[in-house]
Structure formats: structure tokens, C-alpha cells
């Protein structure tokens, strides 16, 4: 039996279509019209003990909602969900003992107390014996230098320091499974690297199962063997990360600021690329922010210099940036059949 | 799983840390304690002014009202000291920080309320005890062992009434976007509790007895000590009202907690 078993799981939210103004709010009170948001739409997967799974997808895909069901906050609208053989929503207290959770940037430590006191309170809550406590605290110190933060009030920590403390705290009671929802969001590269190594070591040391939610592909490349891609509540891919990195590892996005940008620019850019590289060139063009045109392409098929050359030859470009492929473009590519 | 003793121990550990942290702001603590002390004496001042012009208020003497007021101050203190975190609930619910209270193997009401311990409420409690002792000496109340036991029981129940009314109003945050007026109203209404219910006319008295039972915070239970020979049957219910009301409140809290879905994303 797998540690986490999910079958045809759903979560639907009824959301009020708010009317405008005070009068509207008043009428909503009595006769609101609702629409249903299928935040999680018929998903199934199993996770075995000891796995690190990257649960990825763009904003609003349904990642947090799935985690909220697995941690017993939300009641599923339908389907089966078992963690360690039990339905989390109906066994919250019992399940909390075998889980660790870090939810985004909202700390679970005691805001006004020194860091070490939070850990001591957690020791009491989870009844961690002194030997295990000392061992784990030693390990946290070795991995991220936790000791230097012991006497600082949680409120005075930087976001990165707080995340490190929160993640360490979620492993203190040696849980069977740890859920990390967007642990690296808003952090700079060096803290990200520390967090990745902390997670990796803890998983290896204690064979703790880890479900990691992120929209940073770097996180999953560094940590996971298996990824599950979700979008609009549905699972698009569940499998080895190697297939995904093989596909997207070579992808880059070229961000261009084109002079005299007009509505026809995207169209003519598309035509020029097709003209030069053929119809099946693997390039996608989109405008994701004002003044910037994104060209996402596969370096293996269309080298960067060629794409850039084509663009420069045909358009006046005032600024250029090259970035790694975004989660949104990955999902778009998967829809377009990239992993089939 | 945690036993009752585990919870007591845990509460003690957490609050000790909080008090330690608070004590760093000693001036703030001293000033707010004094503020609490004097604002509670203000109502006594109002009584004194009223009784300067009339000898009795709806059949009650000045000293009897002082007794009721002392009872009231003690009865509202546990709410103030132990459940003060209810005031923050709408922020937690709206901003999604309420989620964290689901993640520990603890009773959620315990965990939530343990995050605040209002030390300055202790001065209110002390003032209440002093006023109650003073008034009962002046009134010549004969404190037998049985009466003392009854006093403790009624105080326990009365404080549950005050806690229940406030928490119930706070729970509105689970269903109403701007729940502040609900809690604010419940808190304001509390100021009616130290007055004899028979000064209010029918509709108000009915409300304060059966709907928002503020009468059970001080007035009804006090009668067991002020006129034990002449009390309405209602008064004998006062020890039960608190327990029943708290059970109802806990049920509403659980309903709220179970229906909370967090904020989107
Ligand atoms: N409490 C809620 N009430 C209504 N809609 C919600 C709620 N929580 C999430 N949603 C909606 O469900 C979808 C999935 O949200 P979420 O699981 O938070 O996405 P993710 O974590 O992948 O960014 C979104 O469309 C979001 O607006
Ligand atoms: Mg999310």
C-alpha cells in the first residue's frame, strides 16, 4: 500500500459572482449567483514512502488545494484520498503527528519568541524525546547554521532565514511525509541553494517522503526524480523528470523589446521565423508583459544565435533578455503535445 | 494524542515564554495595567454619582451594586486573559494565516487561544476580587464553606457565559467578510452586564436573559448571595447556562473551522 493514495480526487469551490456596489452586495446576500471552480478536477496518483515528488504547475493550477486536502484542511468534493491508510480530513490530529507542513511564506513559528523557543515548544507538542531532539538540532545546525539564529526573535529574521527555520521545524518530529508549498518563492539564488540542500539531505537521512510544490523548474531539477505537472486542476504529466528536462532543459525564452511595436508585429515575427526555420520550428511567440515580446525556442533545434540573427535582421530591437523557460510555457508546450 | 495534563503543561510552557517576551516592554505593561485598573473603577464612579441623588436603584442599594460589579469584573477576566486572541481571528481568516492552526496535533481552539495571554487582565481580576471582598464585608455576607463553593461554581459558569458570547461573535469571521461590527457589538453590550436586569424594560430584559444572556455574567448569579431567600427559579440555572452556552459555542467554532477553505492561492 502506498503512503499517499489518490484516486479520482475532486475539489470544487462555489464562488459568489459579486455584484457591484453596496446595493449589489446586499442583493448577493439573498440571491447570489454562484459559479463552480474546479480547483482539483479528477486527479489520481500514488506516492511511495521516501519519494521526493515535484508537484508543479502555473499559478492557480490547483497545487495548494491538493495539499490542503492531503493535510486535512479541506474536505474533498469527491474521490478517494488516503495518507498512511487514513482520510486526513476525518483524522486531522492523528495525521498531524506524522506530517510536516510548510505553507508558502506564512511562518508557523512563534512570531514573538526566540527561534530556539519555537523548537522547544514543538518538542513538547510532538513529544520528541531529548535524544532525537538533540540529534536533529545538531543536524540542522550543520546543514544551515541554525545555531546562530537561536536567540533571534522570529519576527526579526529575514524571509530566507525564516524559511530555513520553518523547513527545519517541519522535520523536527521525524514525520513520514513533509509538504512544502512554494518554499523558495521570493528568495534569492543563494538561499534557494541552501534550502535545496537542506531538503535533499533530510530526505536522504530519514527517508522522509517529500511533496514539493513550486513553479520554479530549478527546484524540481535539483531535487526530484519524479514530477507531476498540474494545470487547471488536471494532471498533464506524471513521471520521470528526465523526460521533462531532456525536453525543456534546452529551451530558452528570448525576451525582446521591439521598436514601433504594432498589433501586426507578432504575426510578422511568426512569419519570418517560419520562413527561415520551417513550419515545425518549435518556437512559440507570446506577449506576456507590456513592451516585451517572448520567443521561446529549443536550442537543440534552433540555435540561439540563429534566432537572434533572424530577429535582428528584420526588426529594430532596443533591448534583449534571455531567460530560462517559464512554467507557463512548459505547460503550453505540454498541451501542444511535447510529452506525448 | 494529548491528555488534559499535557495541555496544561503545554499551556504553561508557551505562556511563560510569552510573558518573558512581553516583559521586555515593561513600561507598556505597567501603563496598560493601570489603564485597565482605572477604567474598571470608572463604572463604580457612575454608580456613586447615581446613588448621591437616589437611595436605591430598582430596589438595589449602592453596596449591592458594588458586589455585583466585583462579581462582574472577576467573571469577565478569564475572557480577557485567556481568550484575547479572538480579536485577531478575522485577520487570520482573511489573510490565510489561519491555516497554520490545522497543522499541529492539537485541539485547534487551544492552539489558537494559546498564542495570546493578556497579563494586564490580571490587574482587572485582582481589582474584582478586592471589590467583591470589600462589598461582602460591608453587606455582612456569611461565607460558609458551601457558599464559597457555590461562589466558585457560579463564577466559573459566569465566565463561560462571557467567553461564549464573545467567541460566538468572533466566529462570525468564518462566514462574514467584515465581521468586526459583530464582535465590536458583543464587546460593547458587555457593559450592560453589571446592571440589575430589572432596570431594563421587557424587550431588553428578555434579550439579555434569553438571547444574549448577559444577565448571567453577573446579575442573576449574584442574587444567590445577595438575596438567597428570594430568587427566581432562573437564578438556579445560572451554573448550567455557562456550560451549555460554551458547548454550543464550541460547536459553532468547529463548524467554522471545518468549513474554512482558506483564501485562493
Ligand atoms: N478558498 C477558495 N475559494 C474559492 N476558490 C479557491 C479557493 N482556493 C483556491 N481557489 C481557486 O482554485 C484554483 C486553484 O487554486 P490553488 O490550489 O491555490 O492554486 P495553486 O496553488 O496551484 O496556485 C484557483 O482558481 C483559485 O482561485
Ligand atoms: Mg499555491
* ipTM (interface pTM): 0.88
Number of domains in chain B: 1
| A281 to chain B, closest Cα gap in Å | 35
- Residue A16 CB less than 6 A away from ligand 1: no
Ligand positioned closest to the Cα atom of A59: 1
Which pLDDT band holds residue B265 (cuts at 50, 70, 90)? very low
Nearest residue on chain A to B259, judged by CA atoms? Answer: A74
Inter-chain residue contact B115 with A117, CB threshold 8 Å: no
Query: What spacing in Å lies between the alpha carbon of A64 and ligand 1's midpoint?
Result: 7
Inter-chain residue contact B105 with A94, CB threshold 8 Å: yes
**Backbone phi, psi, residue B34, to 5°:** -60, -45
* End-to-end CA, chain A: 29
We find that the CATH architecture of domain A250-324 is 2-Layer Sandwich (3.30)
Q: Which 238-277 residues of chain A touch chain B by CB within 8 A? A: none
Inter-chain residue contact A101 with B10, CB threshold 8 Å: no
* Neighboring chain B residues of A110 at a CB cutoff of 8 Å: 14, 17, 115
Helix axes B145-170, B238-259, angle to 10 degrees: 30
- Residue A15 CB less than 6 A away from ligand 1: yes
* A4-246 and A250-324, same CATH topology: no
Which carries the bigger pLDDT value, residue A80 or residue A278? A80
Tell me whether residue B39 is in a domain. yes
Inter-chain residue contact B264 with A60, CB threshold 8 Å: yes
Which pLDDT band holds residue B202 (cuts at 50, 70, 90)? confident
- Residue A65 CB less than 6 A away from ligand 1: yes
Q: Relative to the CA of A63, which ligand 1 atom is closest?
A: 22
Ligand positioned closest to the Cα atom of A34: 1
Interface test mutation site (partner B, options A70, A112, A178, A213, max chain B beta carbons within 10 A): A112
Chain B CB within 8 Å of residue A22 CB: no
User: Measured between alpha carbons, how far is A331 from B14 in angstroms, rounded to an integer?
Assistant: 46
Chain B CB within 8 Å of residue A286 CB: no
Which pLDDT band holds residue A277 (cuts at 50, 70, 90)? confident
User: Is the pLDDT at A215 greater than 90, yes or no?
Assistant: no
Tell me whether residue B265 is in a domain. no
Q: Which three cell numbers stand for residue A102?
A: 510548510
Inter-chain residue contact A93 with B21, CB threshold 8 Å: no
Q: Which of B99, B258, B261 sits opposite A106 (nearest CB)?
A: B99
Inter-chain residue contact B21 with A71, CB threshold 8 Å: no
* Neighboring chain B residues of A68 at a CB cutoff of 8 Å: 99, 261-262
Q: Which of B10, B17, B103 sits opposite A96 (nearest CB)?
A: B103
Q: Relative to the CA of A61, which ligand 1 atom is closest?
A: 22
Say which DSSP state B1 is in: -
Tell me whether residue B19 is in a domain. yes
* Neighboring chain A residues of B17 at a CB cutoff of 8 Å: 110, 113, 117, 121
Q: What is the pLDDT of residues B44-76, one digit of tens each?
A: 888 888 888 887 877 889 999 999 999 999 999
User: Measured between alpha carbons, how far is B200 from A192 in angstroms, rounded to an integer?
Assistant: 65
Chain B CB within 8 Å of residue A290 CB: no
In the prediction, which pLDDT does B201 show? Answer: 81
| A307 to chain B, closest Cα gap in Å | 37
Strand partners, A326: none
Which pLDDT band holds residue B264 (cuts at 50, 70, 90)? low
Evaluate whether A226 touches A53 at the Cβ level (below 8 Å): yes
Q: What is the pLDDT of residues A299-315, one digit of tens each?
A: 878 888 888 888 888 88
Tell me whether residue B264 is in a domain. no
Q: Which helix (H) or strand (E) holds A202?
A: helix A189-206
Residue B101 CB neighbour total at 10 angstroms: 20
Q: Which helix (H) or strand (E) holds A251?
A: strand A251-258
User: CA A312: distance to chain centroid?
Assistant: 35
List CB contacts of A114: < 8 A, sequence separation 6 or more. A150, A151, A152, A153, A154
Q: Which three cell numbers stand for residue A130?
A: 531529548
List CB contacts of B124: < 8 A, sequence separation 6 or more. B36, B37, B40, B73, B76, B77, B80
Query: What spacing in Å lies between the alpha carbon of B209 and ligand 1's midpoint?
Result: 44
Sheet holding A284-289, edge to edge: A284-289, A292-298, A251-258, A317-324
Average pLDDT over chain B, rounded to whole? 89
The domain covering A4-246 belongs, at the CATH homologous superfamily level, to P-loop containing nucleotide triphosphate hydrolases (3.40.50.300)
Average pLDDT over chain A, rounded to whole? 89
Q: What range does the domain containing B22 cover?
A: 4-259
Q: Which of A9, A65, A327 to mutate to test the pocket of ligand 1 (most atoms within 8 A of CB)?
A: A65
**DSSP for B62-126?**
HHHHHHHHHHHHHHHHHHHHHSGGGGGHHHHHHHTGGGGGGSSSS-HHHHHHTT---TTHHHHHH
Q: Where are the domains of chain A?
A: 4-246, 250-324
Nearest residue on chain B to A103, judged by CA atoms? Answer: B100
Segment A76-81 shows an average pLDDT of: 96
User: Is the pLDDT at B239 greater than 50, yes or no?
Assistant: yes
Query: What spacing in Å lies between the alpha carbon of A63 and ligand 2's midpoint?
Result: 6
Q: What is the pLDDT of residues B153-178, one digit of tens each?
A: 999 999 999 999 999 999 999 998 78
Q: What is the pLDDT of residues A200-210, one digit of tens each?
A: 999 998 899 99
Tell me whether residue B173 is in a domain. yes
Interface test mutation site (partner A, options B2, B28, B103, max chain A beta carbons within 10 A): B103
Q: What is the pLDDT of residues A132-168, one digit of tens each?
A: 999 999 999 999 899 999 999 999 999 999 999 999 9
User: Measured between alpha carbons, how far is B127 from B132 in angstroms, rounded to an integer?
Assistant: 9
Amino acid at each position: 500500500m502506498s503512503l499517499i493514495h489518490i484516486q479520482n480526487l475532486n475539489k470544487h469551490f462555489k464562488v459568489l459572482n459579486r455584484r457591484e456596489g453596496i446595493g449589489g452586495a446586499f442583493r448577493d446576500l439573498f440571491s447570489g449567483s454562484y459559479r463552480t471552480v474546479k480547483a482539483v478536477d479528477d486527479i489520481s496518483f500514488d506516492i511511495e514512502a521516501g519519494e521526493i515528488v515535484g508537484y508543479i504547475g502555473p499559478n492557480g493550477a490547483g497545487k495548494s488545494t491538493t495539499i490542503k486536502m492531503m493535510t486535512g484542511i479541506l474536505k474533498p468534493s469527491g474521490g478517494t484520498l488516503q495518507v498512511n491508510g487514513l482520510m486526513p480530513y476525518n483524522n486531522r490530529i492523528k495525521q498531524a503527528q506524522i506530517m510536516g507542513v510548510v505553507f508558502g511564506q506564512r511562518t508557523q513559528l512563534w512570531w514573538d519568541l526566540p527561534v530556539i523557543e519555537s523548537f522547544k515548544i514543538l518538542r513538547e507538542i510532538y513529544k520528541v524525546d531529548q535524544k532525537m531532539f538533540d540529534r536533529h538540532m545538531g543536524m540542522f545546525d550543520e546543514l544551515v547554521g541554525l545555531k546562530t539564529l537561536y536567540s533571534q526573535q522570529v519576527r526579526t529574521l529575514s524571509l530566507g532565514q525564516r524559511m530555513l527555520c520553518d523547513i527545519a521545524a517541519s522535520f523536527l518530529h521525524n514525520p513520514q511525509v513533509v509538504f512544502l508549498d512554494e518554499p523558495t518563492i521570493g528568495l534569492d539564488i543563494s538561499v534557494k541553494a541552501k534550502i535545496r540542500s537542506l531538503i535533499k539531505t533530510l530526505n536522504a537521512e530519514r527517508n522522509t517522503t517529500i511533496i514539493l510544490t513550486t513553479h520554479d523548474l530549478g527546484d524540481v531539477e535539483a531535487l526530484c526524480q519524479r514530477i507531476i505537472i498540474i494545470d487547471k486542476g488536471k494532471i498533464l504529466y506524471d513521471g520521470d523528470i528526465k523526460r521533462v528536462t531532456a525536453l525543456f532543459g534546452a529551451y530558452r525564452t528570448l525576451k525582446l523589446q521591439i521598436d514601433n511595436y504594432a498589433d501586426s508585429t507578432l504575426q510578422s515575427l511568426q512569419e519570418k521565423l517560419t520562413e527561415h526555420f520551417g513550419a515545425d520550428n518549435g518556437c512559440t511567440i507570446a506577449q506576456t508583459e507590456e513592451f516585451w515580446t517572448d520567443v521561446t525556442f529549443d536550442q537543440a533545434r534552433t540555435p540561439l544565435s540563429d534566432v537572434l540573427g533572424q530577429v535582428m535582421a528584420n526588426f529594430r530591437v532596443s533591448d534583449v533578455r534571455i531567460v530560462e523557460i517559464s512554467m507557463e510555457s512548459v505547460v503550453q508546450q505540454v498541451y501542444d503535445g511535447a510529452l506525448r | 494524542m494529548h491528555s488534559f495534563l499535557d495541555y496544561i503543561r503545554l499551556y504553561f510552557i508557551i505562556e511563560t515564554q510569552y510573558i518573558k517576551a512581553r516583559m521586555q516592554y515593561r513600561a507598556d505593561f505597567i501603563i496598560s495595567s493601570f489603564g485597565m485598573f482605572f477604567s474598571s473603577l470608572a463604572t463604580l464612579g457612575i454608580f456613586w454619582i447615581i446613588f448621591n441623588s437616589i437611595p436605591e436603584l430598582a430596589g438595589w442599594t449602592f453596596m449591592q451594586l458594588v458586589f455585583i460589579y466585583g462579581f462582574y469584573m472577576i467573571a469577565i477576566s478569564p475572557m480577557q486573559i485567556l481568550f484575547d486572541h479572538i480579536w485577531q481571528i478575522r485577520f487570520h481568516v482573511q489573510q490565510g494565516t489561519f491555516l497554520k492552526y490545522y497543522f499541529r496535533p492539537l485541539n485547534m481552539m487551544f492552539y489558537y487561544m494559546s498564542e495570546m495571554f493578556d497579563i494586564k487582565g490580571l490587574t482587572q481580576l485582582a481589582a474584582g476580587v478586592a471589590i467583591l471582598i470589600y462589598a461582602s464585608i460591608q453587606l455582612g455576607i456569611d461565607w460558609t464553606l458551601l457558599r464559597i463553593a457555590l461562589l466558585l461554581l457560579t463564577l466559573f459558569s459566569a465566565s463561560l457565559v462571557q467567553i461564549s458570547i464573545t467567541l460566538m461573535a468572533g466566529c462570525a469571521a468564518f462566514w462574514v467578510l467584515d465581521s468586526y461590527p459583530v464582535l465590536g457589538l458583543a464587546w460593547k453590550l458587555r457593559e450592560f452586564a453589571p446592571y440589575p436586569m430589572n432596570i431594563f424594560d421587557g424587550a431588553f430584559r428578555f434579550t439579555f436573559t434569553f438571547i444574549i444572556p448577559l444577565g448571567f455574567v453577573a446579575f442573576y448569579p449574584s442574587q444567590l448571595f445577595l438575596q438567597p431567600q428570594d430568587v427566581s427559579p432562573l437564578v438556579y440555572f445560572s451554573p448550567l447556562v455557562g456550560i451549555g452556552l460554551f458547548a454550543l459555542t464550541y460547536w459553532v467554532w468547529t463548524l467554522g473551522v471545518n468549513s474554512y477553505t482558506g483564501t485562493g492561492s
